[in-house]
């Protein structure tokens, strides 16, 4: 074989190895210091927003809302109405206020420089465990719903769950991991650098899951998610590409920083799919 071709192949292999290793290195370096699960719950509990259906008595299923990097500033509350109408309570998980990240500081999250998705995965473990301890919660019917950066967090949480490993920022024993999670809904997640999806984790748990990808996404790279999905062999994982949708297609004004991306048609389609999922 030509020497130049050999050198080129070797160079590509080295770059590929470095890039994959860099992702793993980033995940370990940028994760915050680990704390016991109960301390993690104590950190988050005051900032969990709980909305319960008015007409349900007794054990209630719950949807844990995991918003994007700008938190609920860029979240469509119409989703809450859908979940409540479907008989679920809504719990909005706030990863940012407990860490004194508000306003312009949230741009650091969007730039992957603060509170990465793998740390929010730890927040999810703490939130789910907190809910399991509440006497009004149906602990076997907890759904996770993540948007963008929050979608990354949900996918990383599932990656840790698949391996029965602790998220990086939780130390000690986790009694239930994510047992009791019965449905998952993810919209335009980040699947690139820094994510478990980028490292190629396999999603095998038999949990009904819907992932919606915006085909014209400019906020994240949809091809990364498509590449990840093509390696999956899970009949419970429904992966749908909305070909002409853009990032935040389901968020109208005044919540969307770029309202032209909003599509009433795609929002309606997404909501119908989620109704069927639940």
The residue with greater pLDDT, 93 or 11, is 93
pLDDT tens by residue, 34-45? 999 999 999 999
At which residue do the structure tokens 């007409």 appear? 55
pLDDT at 9 over 50: no
Q: How far, in Å, are 78, 246, 267 from residue 148 at the CA level?
A: 17, 12, 15
Top CATH class, 31-277: alpha beta
pLDDT at 12 over 80: no
With a CB cutoff of 8 Å and minimum separation 6, the contacts of 11 are none
**pLDDT over 90, % of the chain:** 78
Q: Which of 181, 69, 196, 59 is nearest to 127 (CA)?
A: 181
Mean pLDDT of the chain: 91
Q: Which of 190, 253, 192, 242 is nearest to 212 (CA)?
A: 242
The residues facing 213 across adjacent strands are 241
Listed by start position, the domains of the chain span 31-277
Task: List phi, psi (to 5°) of 179.
Answer: -55, 135
Q: What's the whole-number mean pLDDT along residues 82-90? A: 96
| CB of 233 closer than 8 Å to CB of 57 | no
- pLDDT confidence bin for 55, thresholds 50/70/90: confident
Q: Is the pTM value of this prediction over 0.85?
A: yes
What is the spatial distance between Cα 141 and Cα 147, in angstroms, rounded to a whole number?
A: 20
Which pair of structure tokens corresponds to residue 223?
């091809």
Highest mean pLDDT among 72-76, 113-117, 198-202, 212-216: 212-216
Q: What's the whole-number mean pLDDT along residues 185-213? A: 95
With a CB cutoff of 8 Å and minimum separation 6, the contacts of 219 are 148, 188, 246, 247, 248
- pLDDT confidence bin for 269, thresholds 50/70/90: very high
Q: Which of 128, 117, 255 is nearest to 199 (CA)?
A: 117
pLDDT at 6 over 50: no
Q: What's the whole-number mean pLDDT along residues 88-97? A: 97
Reported as half-sphere exposure (CB side, CA atoms, 13 A), residue 259 has a value of 4
pLDDT tens by residue, 95-143? 999 999 988 999 999 988 899 999 999 999 999 999 999 999 999 999 9
């Amino acid at each position: 074989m030509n020497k130049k071709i050999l050198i080129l192949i070797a160079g590509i292999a080295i770059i590929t190895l470095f890039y994959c290793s860099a992702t793993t290195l980033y995940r370990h370096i940028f994760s915050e210091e680990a704390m016991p699960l109960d301390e993690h719950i104590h950190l988050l509990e005051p900032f969990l927003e709980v909305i319960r259906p008015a007409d349900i008595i007794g054990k209630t299923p719950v949807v844990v809302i995991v918003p994007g990097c700008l938190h609920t500033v860029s979240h469509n509350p119409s989703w809450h109405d859908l979940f409540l109408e479907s008989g679920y309570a809504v719990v909005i998980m706030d990863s940012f206020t407990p860490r004194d990240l508000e306003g312009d500081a949230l741009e650091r999250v969007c730039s992957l420089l603060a509170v990465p998705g793998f740390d929010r995965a730890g927040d999810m473990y703490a939130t789910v465990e907190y809910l399991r301890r509440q006497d009004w919660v149906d602990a076997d019917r907890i759904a996770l719903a993540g948007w963008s950066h929050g979608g990354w967090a949900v996918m990383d949480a599932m990656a840790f769950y698949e391996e029965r490993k602790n998220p990086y920022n939780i130390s000690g024993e986790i009694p239930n991991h994510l047992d009791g999670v019965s449905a998952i809904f993810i919209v335009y997640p980040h699947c690139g650098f820094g994510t478990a999806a980028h490292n190629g984790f396999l999603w095998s748990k038999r949990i009904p899951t819907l992932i919606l990808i915006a085909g014209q996404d400019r906020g994240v790279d949809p091809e990364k998610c498509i590449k990840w999905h093509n390696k999956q062999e899970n009949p419970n994982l429904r992966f749908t590409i909305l070909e002409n949708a853009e990032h935040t297609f389901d968020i109208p004004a005044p919540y969307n920083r770029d309202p032209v991306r909003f599509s009433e048609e795609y929002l309606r389609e997404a909501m119908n799919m989620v109704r069927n999922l639940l």
